[in-house]
Amino acid sequence: MSLLSSTTALLGKELRTEFRSRELLTTTVVFILMVIVLFSFTFDPTYNESRRFGPGLLWLAFLFAASLMLQPCFLREQTNDTLSALRLSVNDPFAIFLAKLVANTLFLLFTELLMLPVFAVLYNVPVLRVLGQLILVFFLGSLGVSIAGTALSAISAQARMRELLLPLLLLPLLTPVLVASTQVTVGLLDASPFLEWKGVGFLAIFDVVFLTALWLFGEYLLEE
Amino acid sequence: MKKQVLAAAIVFLLVGAAAYGAFFVAPTERTMGPIQRIFYLHVSSAWTGLCAFFICFVANVLYVFRRQPQWDWLSISAAEVGLVFTTVVLVSGPIWAHPVWGIWWTWDARLTSTFILWLLYACFLLLRTLVEEPERRALFSALFGIFAFLDVPLVFGSIRWWRTQHPQPVVMGGSGSGLDPTMWKVLFFSWFAMLALMALLMRARYVMEAARGQLEMVRHEAEAI
């Protein structure tokens, strides 16, 4: 099986597993909603204040949510030792990572897009006119989060205190994603919106660097 | 044993000489006055810390490809020693900054990325305490170390582009802010002394870790019987 066909097959499996239970998506949506509501108490969300602080808190909510959502990614393969089966079924172990990280990106993107209108309404920021550009930033940001998160969840799944460990390993590593995507979002939510291409390019570079690292070193993460 | 005592004595003399140089040989800076002398400790520790993290990264890569426990022992020794030097940087920085800038801390690119670097390697050491099996621990921490090291330029770039509030650090901000030749000499001597200290500490830590690793192996074998 080629990398592409095994990745598609595994991606189908990831999506099926999630859409049967929908556990991950529902809990993540509720979590982000809660963070958005709680953040509103930390400052006065007027029109101008929301524009200044909104993008940062939105991305922080996404990052926190992701660090929880990525937990079960490899953990659920442990219950019936399905990871060994996965490893045996593909030529290239990178396919396992690729399928998982694409699935995680889709899940994240889906919850983010679901939460965007809620954020827009609660914080009074117009998002419709920059929707296309926002989706681009959300996609590049979520991809970066998923690449690093999928790799690290393979590590944390085999450690003690794993629930605490994944956010600890992941969040400092994701600082560049947080900074760049927040800056681009600030530009998009500005009174006269603009797309900061430098930030978009930076996110793309982050994604490429970590995808390459995962491609080079991923197989070692799955060793018995 | 004799050799180690001798090495420690030499390092002690070097660090002492560096301190002497910083206090009595280097000229007093015109605007900042004597407080600027902390520069020789601050900058040389920063460079030494980075060297230690680079050694850690090289050891991580070598461990992943060669799987010899020696590289794992080296990586933890380098990470710990690097963390100590970076802590010195993070503590001496605000002590210097407060009288000069009027604030303890600013979210500038260098400061923030040093802080993130410190956090990444603190997590590296934490990760090691949370994985039981020695080989898995070595492999996972090596892989995390590689990811963390790759992340450092990205952290620095992102913060430099978007978060830096003041344009240039007061000292060594670029081509315009030259340093007196004597200051350069003292700085390089301090760096050399710090590197010697790093080597001494790293060696001691390595010996300890090697003993611990071997003990762990023997214990493992004994349990297997």
Whether B138 contacts chain A with CB within 8 A: no
Averaged pLDDT score across all residues of chain A:
90
Q: Which of B116, B150, B161 sits opposite A209 (nearest CB)?
A: B150
Q: Which of B116, B136, B147 sits opposite A175 (nearest CB)?
A: B116
Q: How many whole angstroms separate alpha carbon B58 and alpha carbon B36? A: 34
Whether B144 contacts chain A with CB within 8 A: yes
Provide mean pLDDT across the span B198-221.
Answer: 93
Averaged pLDDT score across all residues of chain B:
88
Q: Which of B123, B131, B147 sits opposite A158 (nearest CB)?
A: B131
Please report residues of B whose CB lies closer than 8 A to that of A212: none
What's the gap in Å between the CA of B135 and the closest CA on chain A? 10
> B193, B17 in Cβ contact below 8 A?
yes
Q: Please, what's the b/e burial string for B166-200 (b: 16 or more CB within 10 A of its CB; e: otherwise)?
A: eeebbbeeeeeeeeeeebeebbebbbebbbbbbbb
What's the gap in Å between the CA of B42 and the closest CA on chain A? 24
At which residue do the structure tokens 């002690």 appear?
B12
Task: Select from B210, B191, B204, B223 the least CA-distant residue to B50.
Answer: B191
Provide mean pLDDT across the span A34-62.
Answer: 87
Q: How many domains does chain A have?
A: 1
pLDDT category of residue B156 using cuts at 50, 70 and 90: confident
pLDDT at residue B149 in the model? 92
Q: Which helix (H) or strand (E) is B8 found in, with range?
A: helix B2-20
Q: How many whole angstroms separate alpha carbon B177 and alpha carbon B143? A: 39
pLDDT at residue B4 in the model? 87
- Give the torsion sign (CA, A34, A39, A42, A46): negative
pLDDT category of residue B81 using cuts at 50, 70 and 90: very high
pLDDT in tens, A139-170: 999 999 999 999 999 999 888 888 889 999 99
> Which residue range forms the structural domain that includes residue A24?
3-221
Q: How many whole angstroms separate alpha carbon B151 and alpha carbon B157? A: 10
pLDDT at residue B161 in the model? 81
Return the SS3 of B33: strand
Look up residue B10 and give its two tokens.
Answer: 């030499």
Does residue A140 or residue B3 have the better pLDDT? A140
pLDDT over 50 at B167, yes or no? no
pLDDT over 50 at B166, yes or no? no
pLDDT in tens, B111-125: 888 999 999 999 999
What's the gap in Å between the CA of A198 and the closest CA on chain B? 9
User: What percentage of chain B has pLDDT greater than the value 90?
Assistant: 57
pLDDT over 60 at A133, yes or no? yes
Q: Of A69-73, A189-193, B52-56, which one has max mean pLDDT?
A: B52-56
pLDDT at residue B218 in the model? 92
B:27-66 residues touching chain A, CB 8 A cutoff: 64
Phi, psi of B33 (to 5 degrees): 75, -160
At which residue do the structure tokens 């993460």 appear?
A221
Binary contact (A220, B163; C-beta < 8 A): no
pLDDT at residue B73 in the model? 95
Q: How many whole angstroms separate alpha carbon A171 and alpha carbon A64? A: 8
B:188-217 residues touching chain A, CB 8 A cutoff: none
pLDDT category of residue A53 using cuts at 50, 70 and 90: confident
pLDDT category of residue B33 using cuts at 50, 70 and 90: confident
pTM: 0.89
Cβ-Cβ pairs closer than 8 A, A with B, add up to: 78
What's the gap in Å between the CA of B155 and the closest CA on chain A? 5
For chain A, the first-to-last Cα distance in angstroms comes to 22
Binary contact (B151, A179; C-beta < 8 A): no
A:191-210 residues touching chain B, CB 8 A cutoff: 198-199, 202, 205-206, 209-210
pLDDT at residue A62 in the model? 94
Please report residues of B whose CB lies closer than 8 A to that of A172: 116, 119-120, 123, 148, 151
User: What percentage of chain A has pLDDT greater than the value 90?
Assistant: 54
What's the gap in Å between the CA of B198 and the closest CA on chain A? 26
Note the maximum CA span of chain B.
71
Provide mean pLDDT across the span B100-110.
Answer: 83
pLDDT at residue B168 in the model? 52
pLDDT over 70 at A66, yes or no? yes
Q: How many whole angstroms separate alpha carbon B139 and alpha carbon B128? A: 10
pLDDT over 50 at B24, yes or no? yes
pLDDT over 80 at B164, yes or no? no
Instruction: Enter the DSSP assignment of B154.
Output: H
Please report residues of A whose CB lies closer than 8 A to that of B149: none
Residue A151, CA distances (Å) to A15, A80, A140, B147 in order: 19, 21, 17, 10
Residues 6+ apart with CB under 8 A from A123: A36, A40, A45, A50, A54
